[in-house]
């Protein structure tokens, strides 16, 4: 196993196998659902060779690996016995938005590779016709079209399988639900004079051609549909669970699927399918209407922020809308408007590759540039542009310009396709061929790449910038040494000062411990890490915290403020209370304290510094809540 050691290290630093509820992967990331994210050693993972970065978003703990993530995932599964489903433990409750993102990513991620591949085949087939290389009547065209169209046409069956795995339903029941939705005979029943019409005169007017046990059935076209099968499978999982609880074990093997299908398939045709289809139509109409109001502004917005959405995993809330539009209208604008963003990203990366004198950075830029050509930009974002900030901002701005060009040209995609350059054939209009929208796409691609390259090439490049988070001094380079550390976040927002500048000898000379001081600009103290409040002075001016790893921290608000006897201080927690990083611990009145004649400079020190090799303070002048302040080297 090529990635055996990397896989073992990842499992160890996410808190062990027992801390993992579920595991999946997408194009570049391992996506964990952890029972307790505080047990994961994020800083160690970020520093590991083979890991690009770590993202916590959408209720998932995402370890970004790069293009070879499928190989790492395979080795990880072999080593641990984990699969891309739950280990059976109750998952941590999360907010509805995170739950939605998790469901969508879990349902779509397993099939994205094949969906992209078949879309590419269909796209290139359209290109061959547009160039006159193939006739639509030829056997070659029709066979290629069957290969390209099969996955998307029978999408409900595939989504039935992935949805069933996500919702813990028998996978074959999920596939049977999807197959029923695209059963060809049913479409033939939806012809001729209807028996009657429901909701006549309304926007959802629906002819009824057949009934089920006397109940009207509104037959829809479910080929390529997305929402109906996902909802049906979710409800099916609840129905199956109910029958499992009441049917005797001796006949469960066939009676549970029998009863589940008899309930959920008719229910889908009578209620779930029509409601979901109407919702799909409304969503599609809304997105197209927003596009029609101002295609240029829509393009600028989507193009500018798409890479930000990707970083936080929020794109999973948008991609299904694009698939839905392709199903309902045969075209989509959302997935078209993001096209230029990846070319802006690789334009910036190419400029850095040519400018930098840092050999390590060159070695990162080349593979990131190549993968970016094919639409996989995570290595470029996390490894190169985002850590430097300015290149990432340039790529976002230029991506917005490219999106604006796409909007102004009326560019749309007409089929699912690959990423990057492989998505080009998706812009070919089924009837018009290479139309204005297609050429607008080509212009946006060229402009985005060239403009991003030129701007970045003439922007000053600091080769001394660290490609990782600057959490410790540059003198520390040994990766094994870095793993034995604990990061203390800033409990305050304000200006950073050396302890030697504090007007108190005990603090200034490090007698009480090593650390740093902050001149706060806001009157609030938040927890710098997870731990226990071991000391909270009755006067509220000083807080002692012991972290889960035994580091003892003292936060002393102001000098001699004990004499205020609690005035201007409002504690938010009590001594002995357990705290989580970011919890509000104390609020204080800066203006009142200073008017009373006291200095507000606040030391943050490690009182048991002698137990550690070193305490390294942050190398910056200003700091915000939650930013890295101290590194405790063990």
CA distance 387 to 470: 9
Task: DSSP letter for 618, please.
Answer: -
CA distance 29 to 381: 13
Question: To 10 degrees, what angle do helices 227-246 and 252-267 make?
Answer: 140
User: DSSP string covering 443-464, please?
Assistant: HHHHHHHHHHHHHHHTS---TT
Query: Which residue of the set 26, 150, 365, 396 is catalytic?
Result: 26
The radius of gyration computed from the CA coordinates of the chain, to the nearest angstrom, equals 29
State CA 469 to chain mean position distance. Answer: 20
* 170: its two tokens: 């028998």
CA distance 338 to 429: 18
Cβ neighbors of 93 (< 8 A, separation 6 or more) are none
At residue 92, φ and ψ (nearest 5 deg) are -65, 140
The full 3-state SS of 593-615, as one line of letters, equals HHHCCCCCCEEEEECCHHHCCEE
| Number of neighbours of residue 597 by Cβ within 10 angstroms | 9
What is the DSSP pairing of strand 531-536 with strand 542-547?
Answer: antiparallel
Q: Which residues pair with 622 in a beta bridge?
A: 495
Q: Are 123 and 424 in contact (CB under 8 A)?
A: yes
CA distance 135 to 128: 8
Cβ neighbors of 491 (< 8 A, separation 6 or more) are 525, 526, 527, 528, 555, 585, 604, 625, 629
Share in percent of the chain as helix, strand, coil (round to 5): 50, 15, 30
Task: DSSP letter for 49, please.
Answer: T
> Active site includes 396?
no
Cβ neighbors of 298 (< 8 A, separation 6 or more) are 290, 291, 333, 337, 403, 407
Q: Which residues pair with 521 in a beta bridge?
A: none
CA distance 30 to 82: 12
Q: Are 182 and 225 in contact (CB under 8 A)?
A: no
Q: Which residues pair with 536 in a beta bridge?
A: 543
Mapping DSSP to helix (H, G, I), strand (E, B) and coil, where does residue 534 land?
A: strand
Give the strands of the sheet with 569-571, arranged side by side: 524-526, 584-588, 569-571
Q: How far is CA 424 from CA 340, 372, 375, 412, 428, in A?
A: 11, 14, 11, 11, 8
CA distance 342 to 26: 17
User: Which residues carry out catalysis?
Assistant: 26
């Amino acid at each position: 196993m090529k990635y055996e050691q990397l896989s073992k290290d990842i499992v160890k630093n996410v808190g062990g196998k027992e801390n993992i509820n579920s595991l999946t992967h997408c194009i570049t990331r391992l996506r964990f659902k952890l029972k307790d994210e505080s047990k994961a050693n994020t800083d160690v993972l970020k520093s590991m060779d083979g890991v690009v970065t770590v993202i916590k978003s959408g209720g998932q703990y995402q370890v970004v690996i790069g293009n070879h993530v499928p190989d790492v995932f395979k080795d990880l599964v072999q080593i641990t016995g984990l699969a891309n489903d739950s280990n059976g433990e109750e998952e941590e409750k999360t907010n509805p938005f995170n739950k939605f993102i998790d469901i969508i990513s879990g349902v779509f991620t397993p099939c994205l590779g094949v969906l992209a591949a078949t879309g590419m085949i269909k796209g290139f087939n359209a290109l061959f016709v547009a160039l006159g290389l193939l006739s639509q009547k030829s056997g070659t065209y029709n066979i290629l079209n069957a290969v390209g169209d099969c996955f998307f046409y029978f999408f409900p069956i595939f989504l039935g399988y992935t949805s069933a795995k996500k919702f813990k339903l028998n996978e074959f029941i999920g596939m049977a639900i999807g197959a029923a939705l695209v059963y060809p005979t049913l479409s033939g029943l939806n012809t001729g004079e209807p028996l009657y019409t429901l909701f006549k005169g309304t926007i959802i007017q629906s002819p009824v051609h057949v009934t089920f046990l006397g109940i009207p059935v509104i037959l829809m076209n479910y080929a390529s549909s997305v929402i109906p099968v996902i909802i049906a499978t979710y409800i099916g999982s609840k129905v199956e669970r109910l029958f499992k609880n009441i049917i005797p074990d001796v006949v469960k093997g066939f009676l549970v699927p029998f009863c589940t299908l008899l309930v959920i398939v008719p229910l889908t045709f009578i209620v779930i399918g029509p409601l979901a289809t109407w919702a799909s139509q409304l969503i599609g109409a809304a997105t197209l209407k927003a596009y029609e109001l101002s295609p240029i502004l829509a393009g600028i917005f989507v193009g500018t922020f798409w890479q930000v959405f990707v970083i936080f995993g929020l794109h999973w809330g948008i991609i299904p809308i694009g698939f839905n539009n392709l199903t309902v209208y045969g075209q989509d604008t959302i997935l078209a408007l993001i096209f230029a963003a990846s070319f802006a990203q690789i334009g910036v990366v190419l400029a850095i590759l040519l400018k930098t004198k840092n050999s390590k950075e060159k070695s990162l830029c080349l593979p990131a540039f190549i993968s970016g050509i094919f639409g996989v930009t995570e290595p470029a974002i996390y490894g190169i542009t985002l850590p430097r900030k300015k290149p990432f901002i340039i790529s976002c701005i230029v991506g917005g310009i490219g999106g604006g060009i796409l909007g102004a040209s009326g560019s749309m995609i007409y089929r699912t396709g690959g990423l990057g350059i492989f998505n080009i054939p998706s812009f070919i209009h089924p009837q018009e061929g290479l139309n204005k929208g297609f050429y607008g796409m080509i212009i946006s691609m060229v402009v985005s790449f060239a403009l991003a390259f030129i701007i970045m090439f003439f922007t000053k490049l600091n080769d001394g910038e660290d490609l990782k988070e600057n959490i410790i001094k540059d003198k520390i380079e040994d990766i094994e040494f870095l793993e034995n550390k604990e990061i203390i976040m800033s409990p305050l927002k304000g200006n950073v000062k050396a302890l030697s500048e504090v007007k108190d000898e005990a603090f200034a000379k490090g007698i009480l411990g090593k650390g740093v001081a902050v001149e706060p600009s806001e009157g609030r103290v938040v927890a710098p890490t997870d731990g226990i409040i071991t000391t909270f002075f009755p006067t509220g001016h000083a807080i002692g915290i012991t972290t889960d790893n035994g580091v003892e921290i003292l936060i002393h608000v102001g000098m001699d403020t004990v004499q205020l006897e609690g005035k201007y201080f409002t504690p938010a927690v009590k001594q002995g209370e357990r705290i989580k990083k970011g919890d509000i611990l104390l609020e204080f009145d800066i203006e009142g304290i200073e008017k009373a004649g006291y200095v507000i400079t606040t030391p943050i020190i490690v009182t048991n510094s002698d137990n550690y090799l070193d305490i390294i303070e942050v190398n910056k002048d200003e700091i915000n809540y939650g930013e890295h302040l101290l590194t405790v080297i063990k």
